[in-house]
Structure 1
């Protein structure tokens, strides 16, 4: 068994070097000092590896992408992992102990460590598992071949299902049959489209599409939180536009998310400079796909239990949707008014959103206005209730109404109000 394993590793190392070159390797992972510490504590000198990198971090490292989450697979059971790491005062959290997963935190870096396992039953959302010491058995329970690539801390690759070859050739292949993998976890339907959009160099395998259509209603069994989380991962893809311009992908994604009907706006988004694109976060890109002047977004937010912050941002854009069509909106004085009545972030959202929805915005200096938002000093209303009291007003509704009236005049006059006008207005207490 060990000899067979060694041969697979050597063959894969050679293939990796030939196909990707030295710059497309796992060097990024190897150079994470906290990872080296964890590997040292979980491995034993002179013995076969007990822990390896796996999944997205290996795939991204090979592809030269930024790495966010780091997943490790180990033959050690969770209690043994915790024992070895706690002994060295490394914080370990039980994040999915029933599935063999703990999270180690070292110098603010998180490592999700999962014991090798084998599924014994599944309901399309969660699987019952038994722990294993067999690396190939662990690989066979994963979703796609490109996610079943393992690497040790020295960069030696273990690739029992030829995931590197599929990654190089742009083939998104389920491990085993698509029917089986999808029924184990219906969220894999969305994961398929994410990886297809990101990596595929060929058209859809029609057998996979048939399986997806056959089991698409299974997504109703998946929590909306998990679905929304996966949607967010799709939305931040650099080539998101291609998802909607592949007819098969578009038809199925729109079937799942019918509210995302404004995907044509991505054509304009794609033409923006890198500097401007970087100002759009995932929620603003979602707004491009979702929002108009109606309150239809409220159902989407309710269904996917979005945060109040997201709801507030969507409400701001929806309520100002018609205003974005007016040239007057883009005057500095009106942007300043918006900042005063709301905040700078709302102003930025509206300006960035307008670029992709208003064909006329190209004649407006949006980037200059964004710079203006950054330097704009928020005006402070110069009058107060005490000032009105000095002119004969008493605390109550009358004082409040007068103060509000004066503030509105001050705003409309570009945050300037003449003292004589104020005194004339206050001359008679009404």
Structure 2
């Protein structure tokens, strides 16, 4: 058991009632030999970032964990019991608890593992040194593979031989870049980068869902641009999204997103894609809603920009905003701002985006039943007339109201019958 000697007694999440309750059940003596916190919670707490998910590693088998927790009245869900993981739910808070493991055979995300009671062996099967930090309930840090030094140096380093770790699971290539975007600085670790480039073709064997998850997490980083640029220059980005080439536009978008306080991974993906490359969304298995949004973003809307008028949002802008909705309109506004120099201090662009966000989209006052009540037979003609009335209403800046629209409908219907 290696300990770095660091004592961190003031981490708020260590004192939460649900945390202490759970560890008292798993490791009653509190010596850190039975159960420890591991991974993201320890890593993020060490550098002062918010802790979201708390995971636990233990020498206990999943069956022993389940018996202890159920005897204490704690709800247990066998979320990944074949790989040694159960989820405990304490006062509504979930904790993943995983038995220490060693790899027997590796083939992507579903490696064949065996349980162990050796903390160092468990650490050495993890991907990066900063993810192999452990902490007991008293705040003692266990650092078997030098993760603290790498974490403080903002260096994402593979545990052991980088190429061998990637051969075990090619997703680690994308994780390497994602973690560098979130935790690294300057250039990526040279050894890790060489291994990623050498084995980049392995990425083509990954499922679209796994690629999508990592890519969107990467794009959600405060500034993913340097990492995305490195991935493009080394050919790695082309293995997963060959259409993604507009890194300069992404850089502009990230700058203006900061100005308006709105970072969005799907929009950032859209910034990378040239016109007509909506198929990337299908290939990445985005949700249907995300695919539609991406498809709209890769259609140029050059008119969505400040007009220079005293009112930031003119009639034609309101018409476009009505059709696209807030999200679609703001997507295009920010992308166009990025292409227009991407100056985050541009007040005209900032006012334009703010006005779009603040504008209440009106509701078209007519429904099909209103036209049926006028004597129209239900059918496609009702939809056609509704569309024509709505287009007229939009063209007149969302006027007139319902009574006048019904009068217009009556007039058109009378003309058709004459």
TM-score by length of 2: 0.85
Q: How far apart, CA to CA, are the structure 2 residues paired with 1:263 and 1:360?
A: 13
Kept in 2, the 8 Å contact 1:52–1:73? The answer is yes
**Structure 2 CA distance for aligned equivalents of residues 140 and 316 of structure 1:** 45
Structure 1 partner of 2:287: 307
Match of 2:24 in 1: 40
Match of 2:278 in 1: 297
Deviation at 1:426, TM superposition (A): 5.2
Once the two structures are TM-superposed, the CA of residue 335 in structure 1 deviates from its matched residue by 3.7
Give the Cα–Cα distance (whole angstroms) in 1 for the partners of residues 42 and 72 of structure 2.
26
TM-fit CA distance, 1:395? 5.2
Q: 1:93 aligns with which of 77, 86, 89?
A: 77
Aligned to 2:215: 231
- Find the counterpart in structure 2 of residue 19 from structure 1: none
Deviations 1:262-298 (A, max 9, x none): 111233234337461x3232212222222x431x122
| Contact map agreement 2:267 2:331 (CA 8 A) in 1 | yes
Q: Give the Cα–Cα distance (whole angstroms) in 2 for the partners of residues 112 and 56 of structure 1.
A: 12
Name the residue aligned to 1:348. 330
CA change 1:376–1:83 in 2 (3 A) is same
**What corresponds to 1:338 in structure 2?**
320
Q: Does 1:428 align with 2:415?
A: yes
* 1:404/1:88 CA distance change after superposition, 3 Å: same
User: Hey, what's the Cα distance between the residues in 2 that align with 1:220 and 1:399?
Assistant: 49
Query: What's the CA shift string for 1:224-260, capped at 9, x where partnerless?
Result: 21121111121111121221454x7742433333222
| Residue number in structure 2 paired with 1:169 | 153
> Is 1:181 aligned with 2:161?
no
Alignment partners' CA distance in 2, 1:33 and 1:70: 13
For residue 90 of structure 1, report the CA deviation from its aligned partner.
2.6
SS at match of 1:428: helix
Alpha carbons of structure 1 residues 340 and 274: separation in structure 2 relative to 1, 3 Å: closer
Partner-residue secondary structure (3-state), 1:343: helix
Q: Is the 8 A contact 1:124 1:218 kept in 2?
A: no
Q: Distance in 2 between matches of 1:81 and 1:190?
A: 33
- Deviation, 1:210, is 3.2
Residue of structure 1 equivalent to 2:397: 414
Distance 2:211 2:371 in 1: 55
1:376 CA drift (Å): 1.3
CA deviation digits over 1:21-58, x for unaligned, max 9?
x7xx8714313332222111101226553111111221
CA distance in 2, matches of 1:103, 1:187: 24
More helix by share: 1
Q: Are the counterparts in 2 of residues 119 and 130 from structure 1 also a CA contact under 8 Å?
A: yes
- Kept in 2, the 8 Å contact 1:126–1:185? The answer is no
Greater mean deviation of Cα atoms: 91-100 or 159-168: 91-100
Partner of 1:160: 144
Give ranges in structure 2 of 5+ residues lacking alignment. Answer: none
Change (3 A) 1:12 1:385: same
Task: Give the secondary structure class of the aligned counterpart of 2:104.
Answer: strand
Q: Is the 8 A contact 1:123 1:184 kept in 2?
A: yes
Q: SS at the partner of 1:64? A: coil
Q: Tell me the TM-score normalised to structure 1 length.
A: 0.83
Q: CA deviation at 1:343?
A: 3.0
Which structure 2 residues correspond to residues 81-230 of structure 1 after superposition, within 5 A? 81-201=65-185, 203-230=187-214
